[in-house]
Every structure is written in C-alpha cells, then in structure tokens.
Amino acid sequence: MDLWETLNSAYEPLYRRAQALCSRLNTAGYGCQWNWYAFHFSRRPVGFSQEFFPIPVITVQGLCDIGLEPDHIFIERMLPRTQALELDWSAIRRPFEVYGADDYCGDLYRPGMTPDQLRARIAQDGAKEVGVQLTLAAGCTDEEVLTAVAECRGWGPRPFFGGNAMIVPITEENLMDAARVHAASWQSSHRGICSPGFAAAHTAERQAAYLRGELQAGKSLWLPFSSPEEPGR
C-alpha cells in the first residue's frame, strides 16, 4: 500500500465519523460544526507529543470541542477558574485530564488525587481558565459521545472572556441582573426620544418579564459584565 492509499484509508473513517456525529449532535439540539485542525498535543507513552497531522474537531457552540483522534476521542471543555474550584470533581466517572489554560501540557490532575487536592492545584496554578478533557474509546457509539457532552453541559454554562470582560448566558439565576442592565441602557438610549414617563416605565421588573418571555420562546440571551482581576493577579 503506497502513502496515498495509507493516508486515504486512515482519513476516510475519520471523515465519515465526523459527518455522522456532527449530524447526530445537531439533531439532538446542539448547534455544532466541524473542520480539520492540526498541531494538537496528544499524550503518548513517552509523554506529550505534538501532532503534525490534522484531525476532525467538532465545535459544540458555547460548550465544548470534540476531537476525533485515530486511537481515541477527546471532549475538551474550558472552565473559568472560579467554576473549576466549585465543580464536583468526584461526579466525573470517566478518564479525564485537567490543565491550566497557560500550559496545555501541565497536568493539574493525576489519577488518585482527591477533589480537594485537585482544587488546591487549580488555586495554585492561577490561570483564569482551566481545561478539562474527557477521554472516550475511538470505537464508542454516538450515544456515548452525546452522554459525555451532556455531562459537560451539566457543569454549568460556558462564559466567554475578552480581557477582563465576560459574557454569560442569561438564566433565571441572573435574570434580574440582566433586567437591570437592560432597563438602564434602554432608558439612557431613549432619553430625549421618548417622553420621560414612557422611558421611566421600562423598569427592571418590566424588562425581566420581557426577557423571561424571550427565553421561554427559545432565544439565547447573553449578559456582559466586567470581571475584575483577582487580588494579587
């Protein structure tokens, strides 16, 4: 078998698996798309090695990435440091790795560690985000992958960072915070356009009802806010 046939026979099943799995995830209600990406670091028997070949990576919007390696599948989720410190690590019942966002090859977790020991290492690391990678067998079913993705979703919403700014999904827990921001911005932007009484009628309570209706209609809403640096960072 020449090099072309070797590569084609190796990549065809990865391509077909990515197509099928992405379709299955979209059918299940996860918005996702996939593409080929190279230069990942993979744990091998001798340690971490960089991959110079591309693999299919499925991006599940706002949640995680799914990488289809030739010999296993990984599901990677980034967590804010505060969220990682509060996570119930004992609830993860499958092989996983943890690393700081500043050093992808730096192991924060080693098998046998207690949750408290892991939290202590996360606290010492100091990175703003922590990566968690679940490992599944290459031959696992699509349903097993969906189960693992659902487990990732159970860890809470995934915020988006930009400098010291942060954008998080609006839920019932932060709905009133969002409503106060929405009311203040609406009143400010409409000052001089609408009558004072009409602008003032857009209270936080009124905007909360509006935002709740949008959420119940299936819309995704987001709340930006500042995330100041931690003392000493």
pLDDT digits (tens, 9 = 90+) for 167-205: 677 888 788 888 888 888 888 777 777 787 887 888 989
**Confidence category of residue 160, pLDDT binned at 50, 70, 90:** low
Q: Whole-prediction pTM value?
A: 0.69
In angstroms, the CA 71 to CA 89 distance is: 26
Give which of 119, 55, 57 is closest to 87, Cα–Cα.
119
pLDDT at 233 over 60: no
Percentage with pLDDT > 70 across the chain: 91
Confidence of residue 232 (pLDDT cuts 50, 70, 90): very low
Residue-wise pLDDT for 59-96, tens only, equals: 998 889 999 999 999 999 999 888 899 899 999 989 99
Give me the pLDDT at residue 41, please: 85
For strand 165-169 and strand 160-162, is the pairing parallel, antiparallel, or unpaired?
A: antiparallel
CATH dotted code for 3-158: 3.30.930.10
Of the two residues 201 and 145, the one the predictor is more confident about is 145
Lowest mean pLDDT among 35-39, 53-57, 191-195: 191-195
Where is mean pLDDT largest: 25-29, 153-157, 162-166? 25-29
Three-state SS for the chain is: CCHHHHHHHHHHHHHHHHHHHHHHHHHCCCCEEEEEECCCEEEECCEEEECCCCEEEEEECCCEEEEECCCEEEEEEEEEHHHHHHCCHHHCCCCEEEEECCCCCCECCCCCCCHHHHHHHHHHHCCCEEEEEEEEECCCCHHHHHHHHHHHHCCCCCCEEECCEEEEECCCCCHHHHHHHHHHHHHHHCECCECHHHHHCCCHHHHHHHHHHHHHCCCCCEEEEECCCCCCC
Cα–Cα nearest to 131, from 61, 191, 81, 69: 81
The full set of domain ranges for the chain reads: 3-158, 167-226
